[in-house]
Every structure is written in structure tokens, then in C-alpha cells.
Chain A
């Protein structure tokens, strides 16, 4: 029977093998201790392989995965966050924050007008708090726009 735990266990084993393989690639230095810098990572990899094997052999009950729609929303939220991460520096604080907060709000509450207001309000409100109450060095707008 194919269960989430079995798939996850296999992924864990493969990742641990890759981790151990790259542990063998660590360059050693002439200044070394009896254990060296490879043993601890290899030990961790072995533990992870054991855990993965147990998950494959003795899986828990099947996970309740969300519906395709909810999954799509989570994927969309993730893309939003990635976009936000890239745009925060070049575009300044206000614009990306309003857009990202609005999208997230819409994904959570599902109300369009509320989401627009939440985005604008959070962007302006947090900017004031961060910049003036907490004194963080945030840039409001992209450089050279004004």
C-alpha cells in the first residue's frame, strides 16, 4: 500500500544518502582531530536512513491532505512570498508589502475588498511602526522614483 509515510521515508533515505556522499567530499585539513569533520555528518546520515527505513516499514495512518483547491492556494501563497523576497530590496517596502499582504489576506479570508484594504493598511501601518517607532532603516519607494 502506498502511503505518504512510505514515500516520505524513501525521500528521507535518498536525501540522507546524498548528504553522506557529500560528507565524503569534505576536504580535510592538516589540522585535524581524531574524529575529523566527516564523522559527525556521516553519523547523522546513518540515523536519518534508519528513521526513513522505519517510516517505510511502519507507516502511520494516512495524512489528510487538503483538497486540490487548498493546495493551489498554498502554492500561490508560496509564489507570492518568493516574489516578495525578491522585490523587497529593489522596489522598496510599501508597494510589494501592499501587494503581498493583500494576496495573502485574500487567500485566507476570501474577500476581495477586505483584502485590498488589509494590504494597503498593513503596508502603511507597518511602515510607520517599523520606520518611526522601531527605527528600522526601511526604504519606502524604489530609488530614483521621486
Chain B
């Protein structure tokens, strides 16, 4: 049993007191980040990367800390969905549909416990799925040449643009913009400067952490300033928390099915956790039929999206670790983390750095148990955190962003650039241009251009080489379908409306 011996290696790394402590801290921070409206997994992890880097943690420790934050944020998102009817992050949107009605019916505690257990089941099964699927996929990925990698990057951009946005042209523009930002700096192949306009600060290119924090965190604060006055207050009271064994038992089948759906959605590049929770909720809803009572506050309606969302979060790690192609905004942020730590995700990661991969997987399993413990008996503590006023929280987020970037480079230029990206992110969000493809473009731009140019060297300039192998043709076909199909599916896949008081 390869997996068991690998897992033993992973636990031997992850079970040290130091890593355990990091996992607990990460889970705690992550749950808070997920619970606070306005701070989600992607911007939460984004503002923490520069700080982790400045702390000088080694690769495994930094990974354990930030993936615990990632998983924790997935758990935390449900708290404000249920109590405030405001999703703490985008994937938690579906949890409001049944979570808030149940909380209003005086069963807030039950809703939190059911969703906590569902999160655990989803995340646990997805981690098992990751263990089984990732090594297989990394073996396939060994066959990838530059042409296949180029097609794979196209697939990521196409599915992300197709599924995660409302307008293909805007998503494609966002991807092109991100890739264009990545071309700033010295050319990898010739060593000549490109688009630097004689500015020395731009010679090294744009550090991807700067647009990352700008687009995700700074723009969020600007959105908040615009919505000033519409502050949130606790809508429902949380009484004593007990464990509703009967409801958990009754919705167990739902959790398992939703985990499976969510995991598959998460593995697809570009789909991510939002699609996972959406699909899980919708399949369970049609499975239950009209008499299922979905939308009125039934346990299964809470279990399905939470299990789906957490399973998708685990599933999204599969393409990120094995192929270096993230499946969602947050995994794009985790990819940024790996690149900051000088780890190149891809098939070789599993053979060259087994301690990183298996340490990470073991850490995920540990984090999951820690999160279950934190989120069921200690859920009241996190509920108090929701009452932090935005007037204190968001300036804090801003200052942490600035100090994080400042501590990386110590240059005012990067801070100005970050502010610029923040304003740009705000305008883009108003216009409806998705920001995740920009980040993905900046992260993958260098690799994508290298793959294309290497393919052209191999084929001596023959473009048809890009789709000359069966794998490449399959990827191109999937990319085209992924980009075009949502145009027709959009009316069918319409999201249910939010519950309105």
C-alpha cells in the first residue's frame, strides 16, 4: 500500500507539535476570516501570504498554516450565512437558502451543528479523494509536453471564464489583461526588457502578490465604503447549542452524495467551490422532490451545500497540485503561495517533494478534525466575532495588506501599484469584469508563454503542433466546450434567489 506509507510519511511531518500548533492557529484564523462578511478565503489567504513569507516559515509550515486557513474559511463561511443571511464568502451563498430560515425558526444552533458536521464529511471525503486521485493524475501529467501544457492553460482560462462569469467577453478580456501584466519585465528567453518603459521598478516584472492583495483585499474595502450605512447586525439569537443527532443521521446520505458532487465540481479546472455547493444543492433538491421542503429550512438543505462546498475545496487542490492549474480563486491564491515558497506544482512535485505533498495532505486531515472540534462546541465564540464593527475590521484589513506588501519589498512603488490594482478591481467589479482570471493570468502567464514558445521551437514554428496529440486535442475540445456551453446553459443554471426577510 503506497498510499499508507506515504500517509505515514505525511503524518510524521505534520504531527510535530510545531505544525500542530500552526494548524490550530490556521484553523482558528480561517474560521474567523470565513465568518466575517467581506473577508473570504481568497482575500483572507491573500493578505496572509506576504506576512507568512516575511516570517520566514519553511515551505511545509507555511503550507500547513495557510491551507488550514483555507479549510477554516470554508467552515466559517456558513456562520454568517446562517445567522445573518449574508454569505461570509461566495460558496456559502447556497447555505443561506435553508440555513437562514432554519435559524429564524429558532434552530440556529442545530443549523450550525448540522452544517459543521456536513463540512467535516465533505472535507474529509475530499481529502481521501485527493489522496487517491492526485497520484494517478500526476502519472498522466508526466506525458504532458509544452503543447499539452499550453492547451491545459487554455482549458483553465476557458472554463473559468465560461463558468465563473456572466459575460464571456469580459472574462476573456480579464484573462488577456492578466497575461499581459505577466509579460512586463525581462523576457525569459531573450533577457530583453518588455513593457518596462524604462522604469527600473518594472524590470523584475510585477510581483504577483501585489495585484493579488490589491484586487482581492483593497477593492473589497472600497466596495464597503460605497455600501456605507448598510451595516449588518445579528438577525437571530443563538440559544444553547445541542447536537441534533436525529437530523444528522437523516441527512447523512445527502452529505455523502453532496460530497461526491462537490468533489467532481472542484476537480474541474475553473469550476471551484461555488459551483460545487450550487450543484450539490440543486441535485439534492431535485432528488428530494417537491415534498423535500428545500428552501424552508430543512436539515438536508443545509447539509448538501456545506458538504458540497467543502468537498469542492478539497477537489480543487487536485489540479492545483498535480498540474499547477488552480480550479478556483482561492486555489489560485494557494498557487501564488507555492510559487512564493519556490515550489513548482506539477507532476514532479509528488516524486521530488513527497514530504511537502503528503505533509500537506496529513495536515488537511488534522485541520479537518481540529475544525470539527472548534466549530461544534466552540461555535458560540465565533458568533461573537461577527459583532466586530466594519469600521474597525476593514481599516484593519487595509493596514494588514499594506504592511504585508511593504514588509516584502520595502518599496513605496509596490504600495502605489497595490492601490492602483485595488481601484481597478473596484471598477472592474462594478462593470462585471471578473478578477480571478486576471490573477490566474498573472500567475500562469510566464509558464503559458514559455510552453507556447517551447512548442514552437520543437515544431519549428508549425502551429498545428499545438493540437497534434490525443491529450492536447481532448484538452482543446474541453476548453472550447467549457467556454461556449455556459452561454446556453446560463438560463437553465439560474441561481435561486436569496431568502428575503
List A residues 67-118 near B (Cβ within 8 Å).
70, 73-74, 77-78, 81-82, 84-86, 88-89, 93, 97, 100-102, 104-111, 114-115, 118
Q: How far, in whole Å, are A19 and B179 apart by their CA atoms in the complex? A: 12
User: Which residues of A are found within 8 Å of B432, using beta-carbon distances?
Assistant: 60, 63
Chain B residue with the shortest CB-CB distance to A77: B225
Q: Check if A51 sits within 8 Å of B430, measured CB to CB.
A: no
Chain B CB within 8 A of A122 CB: yes
Q: Check if A126 sits within 8 Å of B403, measured CB to CB.
A: yes
A-side interface mostly = helix
Chain A CB within 8 A of B169 CB: yes
Known: A33-B189, A122-B392. A104 touches B221 (CB 8 A): yes
A-B contact list, 6 entries, CB within 8 Å: A26-B192, A31-B189, A51-B176, A52-B173, A74-B222, A105-B394
User: Which residues of A are found within 8 Å of B431, using beta-carbon distances?
Assistant: 4-5, 8, 63
Give the interface centre of B179, B224, B228 by most chain A CB atoms within 10 Å: B228
Q: Check if B173 sits within 8 Å of A126, measured CB to CB.
A: no
Which B residues contact A (CB, under 8 angstroms)?
A: 51, 54-55, 166-167, 169-170, 172-173, 176-177, 179-180, 183, 187, 189-192, 194-195, 197, 218, 221-222, 224-226, 228-229, 231, 389-392, 394-396, 398-400, 402-403, 406-407, 410, 412, 415-416, 418-419, 422-423, 426, 430-432, 449, 452-453, 456-457, 460-461
Q: How far, in whole Å, are A23 and B324 apart by their CA atoms in the complex? A: 28
The listed residue (B180, B190, B407) touching A29 by CB distance below 8 A is: B190
Besides A26-B187, A40-B179, A74-B225, 5 new A-B residue pairs in contact (Cβ under 8 A), listed by A number: A33-B456, A37-B189, A37-B192, A41-B183, A101-B395
Chain A positions 3 through 42: 1 when the CB is less than 8 Å from some CB of chain B, otherwise 0? 0110010001000000100110011110111111100110
Which A residues contact B (CB, under 8 angstroms)?
A: 4-5, 8, 12, 19, 22-23, 26-29, 31-37, 40-41, 44-45, 47-48, 50-52, 54-55, 58, 60, 63-66, 70, 73-74, 77-78, 81-82, 84-86, 88-89, 93, 97, 100-102, 104-111, 114-115, 118-119, 121-123, 126, 130, 134-138
Give the interface centre of B226, B389, B449 by most chain A CB atoms within 10 Å: B226
Q: Check if A44 sits within 8 Å of B179, measured CB to CB.
A: yes
Chain B residue with the shortest CB-CB distance to A57: B169
User: Which residues of B are found within 8 Å of A114, using beta-carbon distances?
Assistant: 389, 391
Known: A82-B419, A118-B391. A35 touches B226 (CB 8 A): no
Known: A19-B180, A44-B180, A110-B229. A136 touches B392 (CB 8 A): no
Q: How far, in whole Å, are A118 and B394 apart by their CA atoms in the complex? A: 11
Q: Check if A122 sits within 8 Å of B396, measured CB to CB.
A: yes
Distance (whole angstroms) from the CB of B488 to the closest CB of chain A:
16
Distance (whole angstroms) from the CB of B448 to the closest CB of chain A:
8
Q: How far, in whole Å, are A111 and B228 apart by their CA atoms in the complex? A: 11
Q: How far, in whole Å, are A106 and B229 apart by their CA atoms in the complex? A: 11
Q: How far, in whole Å, are A138 and B399 apart by their CA atoms in the complex? A: 13
Chain B residue with the shortest CB-CB distance to A125: B396
Chain B residue with the shortest CB-CB distance to A54: B169
